[in-house]
């Protein structure tokens, strides 16, 4: 099956415990250290099999790294890994997973081939919020509960007055366009930097 490596922890003797997101589940798998094994890194898309064993974590076996054309671009790779860490924290603890979550990573990874990675991830994040029913398309301040003309955004893109949260606002039509078309086209790079900063607060 195919999946994304969302988390890696070290176990004894350089063995690893790996959390993998597939279309339907999060798997926590044991990976024995060995020179013949292909490399494993956070955010990699892999094809693999699982070997079950009584009384112990199932083993990750027959790993093939599926790669992305942009993996050698260290900036893209590191931004992707930052997002993967947030994604893991968001899904951590779940076992059954809706196919949406793997499909979203497939989509973002593909977009990064041609697009600025922060833009691709922000667009995907808006999709995620909408899917989870958490996208606030009506701009009402979460602090004072009054309407806003140029919303500032808190964690999870919660809208607020600039003065209520001490953050600079965005033009409402630009946000509406992003929310409707999942497209960051109207935003300047400086605004993308601010949106990215908000995203890093947690999904």
Contact positions toward Zn ion, by CB under 5 A? Answer: 141, 143-144, 161, 164
SS3 175: helix
Minimum distance from residue 141 beta carbon to Zn ion (Å): 3
Q: How far is the CB of 8 from Zn ion (least distance, A)?
A: 41
Pairing between strand 159-160 and 2-10? unpaired
43 or 169, CB closer to Zn ion?
Answer: 169
User: Rounded to an integer, what distance in angstroms lies between the CA atom of residue 97 and that of residue 107?
Assistant: 17
Contact assessment for residue 7 and residue 19, using Cβ atoms and an 8 Å cutoff: yes
Radius of gyration of the chain (CA): 19
Minimum distance of Zn ion from residue 144's CB (angstroms): 3
Quote the CA–CA distance of 30 and 19 in Å, as a whole number: 9
Residue nearest to Zn ion as judged by C-beta position: 141
Residue closer to Zn ion by CB (options 5, 148) is 148
Cβ 172 to Zn ion, closest distance in Å? 14
Looking at beta carbons only, is 117 or 151 nearer to Zn ion? 151
What tokens does 42 get?
């956070």
The residue (of 141 and 195) whose beta carbon lies closer to Zn ion is 141
């Amino acid at each position: 099956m195919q999946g994304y490596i969302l988390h890696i922890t070290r176990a004894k003797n350089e063995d690893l415990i790996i959390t993998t997101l597939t279309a339907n589940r999060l798997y926590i798998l044991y990976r024995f250290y060995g020179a013949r094994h292909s490399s494993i890194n956070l955010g990699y898309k892999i094809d693999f099999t699982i070997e079950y064993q009584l009384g112990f974590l199932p083993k990750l076996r027959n790993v093939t790294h599926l790669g992305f054309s942009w993996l050698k671009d260290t900036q893209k790779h590191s931004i992707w890994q930052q997002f993967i860490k947030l994604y893991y924290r968001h899904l951590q603890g779940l076992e059954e997973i809706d196919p949406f979550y793997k499909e979203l990573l497939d989509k973002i990874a593909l977009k990064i081939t041609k697009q600025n990675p922060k833009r691709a991830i922000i667009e995907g994040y808006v999709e995620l919020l909408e899917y989870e029913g958490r996208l606030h398309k009506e701009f009402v301040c979460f602090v004072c509960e009054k309407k806003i003309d140029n919303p500032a955004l808190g964690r999870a893109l919660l809208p607020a007055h600039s003065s209520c949260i001490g953050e600079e606002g965005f033009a409402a039509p630009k946000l509406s366009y992003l929310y409707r078309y999942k497209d960051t086209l109207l935003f300047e790079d400086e605004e993308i930097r601010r949106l990215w900063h908000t995203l890093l607060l947690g999904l």
